[in-house]
Amino acid sequence: MPKIKELDQFLEQNPAWKPKTMESHPEINFKNLNNGRLLKHKKAAKEHVGIQERLAILSKHHQALPTFFNQYRNRFKKWQVKDDDLVDAL
């Protein structure tokens, strides 16, 4: 709920972003980014194979995204932000 409230406040202050902002489930987005194919691994799979699979898909669309993920992974503790939340935000 806090993040939804934060987004609502942002949109109230920046109405030009309202028509550009849509909500979707991250797994649907990853499927679409993966040419409509389901991903092979769950995000929470052992040895981070699910996270790596998603980062590989993202890197096809923007090469800097895995580096960006790693920068934020190193900036925050895992109890502050989970890997799957970071990759979903990308």
Distance, CA of 51 to chain centre: 10
Instruction: Determine, yes or no, domain membership for 8.
Output: no
Instruction: Determine, yes or no, domain membership for 36.
Output: yes
Radius of gyration of the chain (CA): 15
State the pLDDT confidence band at 73, using cuts at 50, 70 and 90: very high
Instruction: Determine, yes or no, domain membership for 83.
Output: yes
Domain hosting 43: range is 27-89
The two structure tokens encoding residue 56: 């590989």
Instruction: Determine, yes or no, domain membership for 53.
Output: yes
Specify the number of domains making up the chain: 1
Type and span of the H or E element at 58 = helix 49-61
Instruction: Determine, yes or no, domain membership for 18.
Output: no
Q: Give CA–CA dist 16/19, Å, rounded.
A: 7
* pLDDT (tens digit per residue) in 15-40: 999 998 888 889 999 999 999 999 99
Contact yes or no for 37/27 (Cβ under 8 A): no
Please tell me the pTM assigned to this model: 0.75
